[in-house]
Amino acid sequence: MLKSNFTKKHLLKLLMENPDELISSKELALQTRISRQAIWKAVESLRSEGINIEAIPQKGYRLCSGKVESFSPSLISANIPEICPWGVDITLLNTVGSTQAYAKDFARKDCPDGTVFISTMQETGRGRRDRKWFSPPGGLYMSIVTRPRIAPSSLQLISLASALALRQALLETTSLSFDLKWPNDLLWKGKKLAGILSEASMEPDRIHFAVIGMGINVNIPESSMPSHLLSRSVSLQMILGREVDLTLLASQIIYSLFTEISLLESDDHEQLVRKYASCCTTLDREVEIHSDEGIEKGLAIDISSRGELVVKFPDMLKTYAAADVIHAPLCY
Ligand code: BTN
């Protein structure tokens, strides 16, 4: 297990500003306001994450340029823009059953807003409605703990905000625009690239925490995709024909999610819902709704101000807060 923290993030940022340049330990101590001995400890810890820092006795430290081969939590943290307070505490788990279960344990123990748990494989990944989530090596599986200051009645909007954030992060890092399927699947030409599971603990008037779990098929080659999933799932590697930098993608997701949740907290729900609706490929389609009430067929026409799906039936309109939706093929 590898962990980032405030000191390592700050130190790495300073070194990254001047790659290949020697910076004295006196200067680093001054900037980070920690002792030279604490700097040495932090440098050792950064090295154990695979970051190549050269130490020259009596002179200082230098970040050697070149790609960091390993997936490093401190590097993810250092790549997040300064205005974002999330992603200071990032835990990278080599083996984990589910980052979601792991994160919920920490959320119950009061870990701070914006704490992140990541893995590149899961043994027992879980999806919505308690389904299994296929989590082979090369995927990005992350769970982010947040303590949003919004009314519990707006909880569904967290799902929508998360989908928008993931879409934006993917656009920034790959230049690809994904469709959103209500409530929060990301699709490429109708095939699923990523899914989001948001779970919350709350009282009638307050959300204690929400854990936003994202599973993204990133560096998964077609040969690793089971045949039963190939007709409905896709990975970034399959779309782009190359691997994607997991560090940059993870940093961008954390930053985009912080931005969207902050907007949600600022009460501009209408803007969020309109933005979501404009990328949501479920709308204006015949859909099959699988919910606790059974299976129904109708026309998806809108997203309500609470983030529910509005479906038109011959004799009435119905709204759904939680359901599985199957898109009927579009007829032109
Ligand atoms: C879905 O059913 O579409 C949601 C899938 C969510 C999977 C993610 S992967 C990270 C986190 N850990 C889990 O076990 N599940 C979520």
3-state secondary structure of 217: coil
Range from 29-33, 152-156, 310-314, 324-328 that averages highest in pLDDT: 310-314
Q: What is the percent of the chain where pLDDT is above 90?
A: 84
Whether residue 128 has its Cβ less than 6 Å from ligand 1 = yes
Handedness of CA 211, 248, 96, 42 (dihedral sign): negative
| Residue from 91, 92, 96, 100 to probe ligand 1 pocket by mutation (most atoms less than 8 Å from CB) | 100
Give yes or no for residue 322 having a pLDDT over 90.
no
Whether residue 196 has its Cβ less than 6 Å from ligand 1 = yes
Tell me 153's DSSP state: G
What's the predicted TM-score (pTM) here?
0.95
Give yes or no for residue 202 having a pLDDT over 80.
yes
Count Cα atoms within 13 angstroms, Cβ side, for 254: 34
| Residue from 118, 191, 197, 325 to probe ligand 1 pocket by mutation (most atoms less than 8 Å from CB) | 197
Which contacts of 31-39 are long-range, i.e. CB under 8 A and separated by 24 or more positions? 32/7, 34/7, 38/7, 39/11
| Residue from 126, 143, 249 to probe ligand 1 pocket by mutation (most atoms less than 8 Å from CB) | 126
Whether residue 256 has its Cβ less than 6 Å from ligand 1 = no
Distance CA 122, CA 126 (A): 9
Q: What is the percent of the chain where pLDDT is above 70?
A: 99
Whether residue 141 has its Cβ less than 6 Å from ligand 1 = yes
